[in-house]
């Protein structure tokens, strides 16, 4: 008799929890609306086509059409990140009033920057890593991608860090980031989503600002650069890589370092110092 009562109580408890989760899930779905808006130039009021719109909370992304219009799923208290090449990026906190169906008109400012001349050189890559690596000048740092392989490769010597103090020598940006992300799995999932989904990959491949990465990783630009150096990426890669390439780099470095910390991979298999070959 006691066993029957215990079974019934367990069943009722599980049913109650399941019902609460279902109600909570439906409530969240009901609260998600399509945020509609239009992005324009603050000076001439012209629409900006292909501006990037990303919901930093749900990691949903879209771009504006030829009229500068967009719509993106959002709920109250979400943060929308708006960016366009050559313009100042902005963050917009979503309120209940903004979700009532009225179209927003968001005006953004152009950036005032000096653009340096860039010379692009072809290296005539053929698709064989060993040969292609030799065709890239040895005194240059380059990130090359071979068709059919998911990973890009950087040729050149890895970075070495000069420590100016004893305290600096004991501080490891990679270890600090690893411990930090261990406590923030949601942010790690968001970075993986940026890398995985096609629409988000396309957006991040066009971005070079690092703003979204710094937001998710809660890092300054210098801290992010120090992390990439610790992961053996060159200054050239840090300056020129797209946001998608940087995301792939930090995630790959994170997975390698996690394997090392757990003793599954030896460190000398992950980080190769070209100086030892000379």
Q: What is the pLDDT of residue 277?
A: 42
**Structure tokens given for 101:** 């169906």
Range of the domain at 183: 157-277
Start-to-end Cα distance in the chain: 79
Q: Check whether residue 241 and residue 176 sit in a common domain.
A: yes
Q: Check whether residue 86 and residue 169 sit in a common domain.
A: no
Q: Check whether residue 161 and residue 272 sit in a common domain.
A: yes
CA dihedral sign, ordered 11, 13, 16, 20: negative
Residues 6+ apart with CB under 8 A from 256: 265, 270
Q: Among 77, 80, 92, 73, which residue's Cα sits nearest to residue 32? A: 73
Q: What is the pLDDT of residue 2?
A: 55
In this structure, of 77-86, 123-132, 153-162, 248-257, the range with the lowest mean pLDDT score is 153-162
Q: 202 lies in a domain?
A: yes
Q: 258 lies in a domain?
A: yes
Number of domains comprising the chain: 2
pLDDT tens profile 47-90: 999 999 999 999 999 999 999 999 999 999 999 999 999 999 99
Q: Check whether residue 170 and residue 80 sit in a common domain.
A: no
CB 147 within 8 A of CB 215: no
Q: Among 248, 111, 256, 104, which residue's Cα sits nearest to residue 178? A: 256
Q: Check whether residue 101 and residue 174 sit in a common domain.
A: no
**Structure tokens given for 167:** 């305290």
Q: 243 lies in a domain?
A: yes
pLDDT tens profile 156-185: 444 555 544 444 445 677 788 888 887 778
pLDDT tens profile 146-156: 454 444 555 44
Q: 255 lies in a domain?
A: yes
pLDDT, mean over the chain: 76
- Could you say which of 67, 85, 108 is where a domain stops? 108
Q: 121 lies in a domain?
A: no
Q: Check whether residue 173 and residue 61 sit in a common domain.
A: no
Stated pTM of the model:
0.68
- Beta pairing class for 33-41 and 104-108: parallel
Q: Check whether residue 240 and residue 163 sit in a common domain.
A: yes
Q: Among 198, 249, 200, which residue's Cα sits nearest to residue 81? A: 200
Q: What are the helix (H) ranges across the chain?
A: 2-31, 129-135, 166-170, 173-182, 185-196, 198-205, 211-217, 221-230, 235-240, 243-261, 267-270
CB 176 within 8 A of CB 194: no
Q: Check whether residue 165 and residue 101 sit in a common domain.
A: no
Q: Check whether residue 192 and residue 268 sit in a common domain.
A: yes
CATH code of the domain in which 56 resides: 2.60.40.1120
pLDDT tens profile 21-58: 544 444 445 579 999 999 999 999 999 999 999 999 99
Q: Check whether residue 104 and residue 170 sit in a common domain.
A: no
What 47-50 contacts at long range (C-beta under 8 Å, 24+ apart), as own/partner pairs, is: 48/84, 48/87, 48/108, 50/84
Q: Check whether residue 103 and residue 205 sit in a common domain.
A: no
Q: What does the alpha-carbon distance between residue 229 and residue 56 come to, in Å, rounded to a whole number?
A: 26
Q: Among 210, 225, 242, which residue's Cα sits nearest to residue 143? A: 242
């Amino acid at each position: 008799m006691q066993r029957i009562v215990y079974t019934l109580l367990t069943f009722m408890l599980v049913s109650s929890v399941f019902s609460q989760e279902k109600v909570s899930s439906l409530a969240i779905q009901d609260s998600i609306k399509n945020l509609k808006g239009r992005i324009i130039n603050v000076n001439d009021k012209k629409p900006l086509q292909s501006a990037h719109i990303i919901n930093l909370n749900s990691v949903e992304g879209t771009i504006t059409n030829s009229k500068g219009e967009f719509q993106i799923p959002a709920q109250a208290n979400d943060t929308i990140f708006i960016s366009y090449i050559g313009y100042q990026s902005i963050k917009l906190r979503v309120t209940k009033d903004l979700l009532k169906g009225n179209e927003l008109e968001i005006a953004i400012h152009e950036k005032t920057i000096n653009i340096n001349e860039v010379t692009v050189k072809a290296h005539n890559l053929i698709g064989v890593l060993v040969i292609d690596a030799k065709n890239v000048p040895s005194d240059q740092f380059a990130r090359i991608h071979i068709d059919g392989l998911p990973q890009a490769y950087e040729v050149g010597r890895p970075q070495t860090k000069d420590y100016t103090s004893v305290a600096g020598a004991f501080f490891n940006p990679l270890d600090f980031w690893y411990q930090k992300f261990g406590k923030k799995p949601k942010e790690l999932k968001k970075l993986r989503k940026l890398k995985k989904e096609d629409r988000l990959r396309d957006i991040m491949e066009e971005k070079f600002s690092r703003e979204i990465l710094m937001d998710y990783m809660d890092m300054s630009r210098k801290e992010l650069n120090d992390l990439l150096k610790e992961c053996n990426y060159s200054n050239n890669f840090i300056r020129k890589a797209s946001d998608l390439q940087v995301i792939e780099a930090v995630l790959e470095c994170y997975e390698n370092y996690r394997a090392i910390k757990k003793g599954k991979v030896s460190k000398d298999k992950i980080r190769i110092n070209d100086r030892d070959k000379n």
